[in-house]
Amino acid sequence: MTEKEKNDIIWASGHYLFESLPNNFIDWTEKKLYNWIEQHAWQPFEHWEGEEIFNEIDNLADSMNEYVGVKK
């Protein structure tokens, strides 16, 4: 994952979590990441699985880049 991709995911996480992902999230195991996401899920997503929320975060980051014309 590039620094830009990491920053895009951190930015997008703020739309699904009440606290954006920290910079070191890329060093976490999937289990730790998904648990952290579940614990910080914004109210409309509080009953979603961490993996589902992360997929939405990743999709938003990708969609934003597509919208502004940025290629990976």
Which H or E run contains 12?
A: helix 3-13
Burial status of residue 65 (CB atoms within 10 A of its CB: 0-12, 13-18, 19 or more): middle
d(CA 10, CA 8): 5
Query: Is the full-model pTM beyond 0.95?
Result: no
pLDDT, tens digit, for every residue of 15-55?
Answer: 999 999 999 999 999 999 999 999 999 999 999 999 999 99
